Structure 1
Amino acid sequence: MIACFMALNFKAMAQSETSQFAAEPASYQSRAFAMEGIGSFAVGPIVPTLNGNPHLFGDWGGLQPWLIKHGFYVNVALNEEYMANVTGGRTRDNVLAGQVAAALDIDWQQLAGVKGLWTHMIVINGHGRSFSHTLGDSVTNPEEIYGARGNVVAHLVSMYAEKAFLDDRVILSLGYIPTGSFFGFDYIACSFMNVSICSNFAPGKYVPGGKDWPSGNLGGVLRVRPTEQTYVMGGVFVVSPHDYNGGISGWSIAQSGLGKLSSQVELGWMPSFGHDRLRGNYKIGAWYDNSSYPDLYADINGNSFQETGLPRRYHSGMWTAWFMFDQMLVRNGPGLADGLIALGGAGYSQGNVVAMRDHEWIGLVETGEAWRRSGDQIGIMFQHMDMSRTVTRQQESSLALGQPYLPNQWGQVWGVQNWENVYEAFYSFHLMRATTLQADFQYLQRPGATTTFGDAAVIGGQFTTNF
């Protein structure tokens, strides 16, 4: 499964509506790098830079200003997460997992006089173990930080170049890119610890043609901003047949089996309403992968391949589509995220080859300005996930034949899967500059989308700091 890098409260880094160190949708899946997403949805896709990001150790004794003057924007952040299930689930357990992330953006205009050219690179360290496995739920991952690379010293997340044209209204990105960091992205969703919609939604991010952070695909993205409030974005990516694109450490980019393509498109509208400039972000998109994928249930004649032993039926191509939004309802400060914000969306995938058919969510996030805690944040979220009828038939066949359940894109299966609901609430405390501590509660109805284990109540916490 995919894990995002959760770091600092995005509110703490959105104090100014004129912040121009924000970026596209979105190079970094993190609150430490959250301005990447905030900026793009505020003013449209622009060339990214980490200039202005707060750091626990200030300007590093003068080193940060020197680096920025020469075109180097460096960010290092730490995230540690703890989770435990109070009741329900496969086992009663508690887990600690964490990550250190380092990012380097280079402005080649500052460095070498090449106008509008940037390069981006993110490398992460992962440590700990999976809470989802001990809980018995691979459908939704309450713990955000562990997954898609396990315990690694240095995992390559992304490495790509970016060139801007026509006063930043057209931007071309080429290289090794997490596709879900550009398409179907919602930075506000990463305020929550549950990873299912941070920041790219399930089911789209768990299939080869739409790999999300920290996995990527070789390819390119073209972004066009016709007006200040709209954008059109398209991408073409080489599809890797491997579970871990680039291997578990991410550095083996040119793996065997490459050749098929995933084509993605997204349209976005970013209005501001009324005197208070209540910002909204609305997007609709889809992608199509022309690879061949096996049917989750059917053999070549449409019967259970487990029962007949005949070769599986293959489908040429698969699709995923989405609608997502966030809208500020009440403003209580000057920053991009200073206010009560509603967010929600829906994502769908082709159910005969993808185990999760659809996913819907709705939530509210509020900053602490209203109670004089401007760096704090509070939120609630509801998610509903339906597994495909095809995968349910496969699992019913396994049960009838007395065979083990087959794993799917979501990992291990413990029973016949149908649907799952997740309820989540959190409060994030701003401790000091660039540092937060978050308390989180989740209630999982039908963990793993089955009735095998009892409903689970989960408590968690995360500590994040941006050095």
Structure 2
Amino acid sequence: MKSAFIACACAASVATTAAFADTPVDAQPEAPEADLAIHAQPSTFWTGVWSRQNLLGDMGGLRPWLGQYGATLSITETSEYLANLRGGLKTGGTYDGLTTATLTVDTSKALGVPGGTFNVSGLNIHGRNLSQTNLGTLNTASGIEAQDTTRLWELWYQQSFLDKRVDVKIGQQSLDQEFIVSQYAATFVNTMFGWPALPSYDLPNGGPAYPLADLGVRVRGQITPNLTALAGVFDGDPLGNNPNNLSGTNFNLHNGALYIGELQYAVNQPADGQMDTGPSNALPGTYKLGLWYHNGRFADPRVDDTGLSLANPASTGVPQQHHGNYSFYAVADQMVWRPDPTGAKSVGVFARVMGAPGDRNFVSFAANAGVVLKGPFDGRDNDSAGLALTYIRIGSHTTDLDQDYAALGPYGVRTNETTLEATYQYQLNPWCVLQADAQYTFNAGAGQNPSDPTQPLRNTFVVGMRANVTF
């Protein structure tokens, strides 16, 4: 598949192709969690390629045909070029990309089973990872960085009950689609504004989040109109006993269990997808509290099985084991300014914090916060500009081990790392978004060069451009 950069660059000339004019296309939900109602569009709805919701229109009639059976096909491409201008492991740039294909089926229309949704998605990951080859930072520069492969991602069935107040999802799931999510943080490119640093480093193989998913069951219930509860149990390791599970088909239930629960409190939410237009212009917000617990065994980063430091020449080299691991977290998204309750222009802020015990985790505290301006200029209602900060604090036992080594000779002591990101999303047309991005990382590598622990890393400065295309 051609990259999103090529698709956007050629869009202006493709838009003149008469063969694509006035082609009906079914509306697409933005995420697997969206209700799967199929909205047929009149034949005159689309005026050409440039103004279509999807680059490929109705795919030669495929989308309308699928829509007859309650099915929706979504294909997206994210392509980016990021370059490190200073510091890190080396300067220079890399290209990487992600193609995602998702098929969702409304079982009410397809099978006559009301309240059911079937979802299957796959990933094609391509290109090189800037963070691994050029940066050496812990706050990895891009949320799509991963090992090149084509893999199954999610495969689940969801059934709602009690007039949609309760639903249960079972199958292979990616937790970053529902848990620990910040609406405003998703604007940014750095990985840690998506699936945060703490579970990324502390859970086995980063936990069940992009590009991995895991078998499990999730229950969601609406307690009150404002309060929703989510709870789930998943296999403890998304790679399981197959570290080379590049296909995503190693369905494993043999590595302990990961339990997660979250309470979500929403205020001043728009009704039926419309902005609040009350006289008070009440501003919407969402607040979340959650925790996860893993019942496996976790190695102490510093202490061996006899109580000696692993840096001690007399150490056995076998880490002490701790039973279980856990973390608490909080997420807040709040709109703080909207001059016109019917307009797009608004300012939203977000904050997310997480903590975990330092005696069994590489990261003991992680936080990010930022501000996003929607519709920053007149006539640019779909654009967004943002500024955000993400912070990682290294666990106490990891820092203590580094200090033990430093007492024996030159050695970098890892403490914390902070990345500042500024970004701008430009809606080129309905199916293409261009995003300019800049990131500066302070105390890169948290104070240690991963290639040579005796040497520090210089702070890094990354700039780049991302393109998102909906096919």
Are residues 1:72 and 2:71 paired?
yes
Equivalent in 171, 174, 178 of residue 178 of structure 1: 174
2:209 to 193, 209, 212: 212
AA aligned opposite 1:309: S
Contact 2:208 2:237 (C-alpha < 8 Å) held by counterparts: no
Is the counterpart of residue 230 in structure 1 residue 227 in structure 2? yes
Q: How far does residue 359 in structure 1 lie from its aligned partner after superposition?
A: 1.1
In structure 2, what is the equivalent of residue 57 of structure 1? 56
Q: Find out whether 1:297 has 2:297 as its counterpart.
A: no
- Structure 2 letter corresponding to 1:299: D
1:322–1:346 contact (8 Å) kept in structure 2: yes
For 1:217 and 1:402, locate their aligned partners in 2 and report how far apart those are by CA, in whole Å.
43
Q: Determine the C-alpha separation between the residues in 2 that align with 1:438 and 1:243.
A: 36
Residue 79 of structure 2 contacts residue 98 of structure 2 at CA under 8 Å; is this kept in 1? yes
Q: Secondary structure at the match of 1:264?
A: strand
Alpha carbons of 1:386 and 1:353: their partners in 2 closer, same or farther (altered >3 Å)?
A: same
For the residue of structure 2 that corresponds to 1:203, the secondary structure is helix
Instruction: Tell me which structure has the larger Cα radius of gyration.
Output: 2
* TM-score, normalised relative to structure 1: 0.82
Please tell me whether the aligned partners of residues 80 and 466 of structure 2 are also in contact (alpha carbons under 8 angstroms).
yes
Asked if structure 2 preserves the Cα contact closer than 8 Å seen for 1:333 and 1:369, the reply is no
Contact 1:82 1:462 in 2 (8 A): yes
Cα separation, 1, equivalents of 2:39 and 2:66: 10
Q: Name the residue aligned to 1:187.
A: 183
Q: Distance in 1 between matches of 2:199 and 2:230?
A: 17
Distance 1:332 1:151 in 2: 45
**CA shift in 2, pair 1:182/1:416, >3 Å:** same
Change (3 A) 1:402 1:158: farther
Q: Is the CA contact (8 Å cut-off) linking 1:215 and 1:244 kept in structure 2?
A: no
Helix, strand or coil: the match of 2:197? coil
Aligned to 2:403, the other structure's residue is in SS state helix
Task: Report the counterpart of residue 464 of structure 1 in structure 2.
Answer: 468
Match of 2:17 in 1: none
Provide the C-alpha distance between the structure 1 equivalents of 2:67 and 2:243, rounded to a whole number of angstroms.
Answer: 31
Aligned residue runs from structure 1 range 60-459, under 5 A: 60-147=59-146, 150-152=147-149, 154-198=150-194, 200-206=195-201, 207-208=203-204, 210-240=207-237, 242=239, 247-255=244-252, 258-272=254-268, 275-307=280-312, 308-310=314-316, 311-331=318-338, 339-368=346-375, 370-400=377-407, 415-450=412-447, 452-459=456-463
Give the conservation status (yes or no) of the 8 Å contact 1:266–1:286: yes
Distance 1:185 1:88, change over 3 A: same
- Contact 1:360–1:385 at 8 Å: present in 2 too? yes
* Aligned-pair CA distance for 1:416: 2.6
Identity within the alignment, %: 26
* Offset at residue 282 of structure 1 (A): 0.5
* 2:131–2:140 Cα contact (<8 Å) kept: yes
Residue correspondences, number: 415
Q: 1:440: Cα distance to partner? A: 0.4
User: Which stretch of structure 1 is more off in the superposition, 365-374 or 227-236?
Assistant: 365-374
Shift of 1:369: 5.8
**How far is 1:243 from its partner?**
7.5
Structure 1 residue 271, shift from structure 2 partner: 0.5
Q: Deviations over 1:347-368 (max 9, x none)?
A: 1122222111111221111112
Q: 2:169 corresponds to which letter in structure 1?
A: S
Q: Is the CA contact (8 Å cut-off) linking 2:184 and 2:349 kept in structure 1?
A: no
Judge conservation of contact 1:435–1:464 (CA < 8 Å) in 2.
yes
Secondary structure of residue in 2 paired with 1:143? coil
Structure 1 residue ranges without an equivalent (≥5): 1-7, 9-19, 23-32, 40-46, 406-414
AA paired with 1:463?
A
Which string of whole-angstrom CA distances, capped at 9 and with x for unpartnered residues, describes residues 326-375 of structure 1?
11112356789752111111011222221111112211111126522012
Say what the alpha-carbon RMSD is for the aligned residues.
2.7
The residue type equivalent to 2:363 in the other structure is M
Paired residues of 1:246 and 1:254 also in contact (CA < 8 A): no
Q: Which runs of 5+ in 2 are unaligned?
A: 1-7, 9-26, 41-51, 270-277, 449-455
Deviation at 1:400, TM superposition (A): 4.9
Q: Residues 84 and 93 of structure 1 are in contact (CA less than 8 Å); yes or no, is this contact kept in structure 2?
A: yes
* TM-score, normalisation: structure 2: 0.81
Q: CA deviation at 1:304?
A: 1.1
Moved more, 447-456 or 231-240: 447-456
Helix, strand or coil for the counterpart of 2:437? strand
Q: Which amino acid aligns with 2:193?
A: I
Greater RCO between the two (CA within 8 Å, min separation 6)? 1
Is the 1:327–1:343 contact (alpha carbons within 8 Å) kept by the matching residues of 2? yes
* Residue range with higher mean Cα deviation, 92-101 or 442-451: 442-451
CA distance in 1, matches of 2:56, 2:342: 23
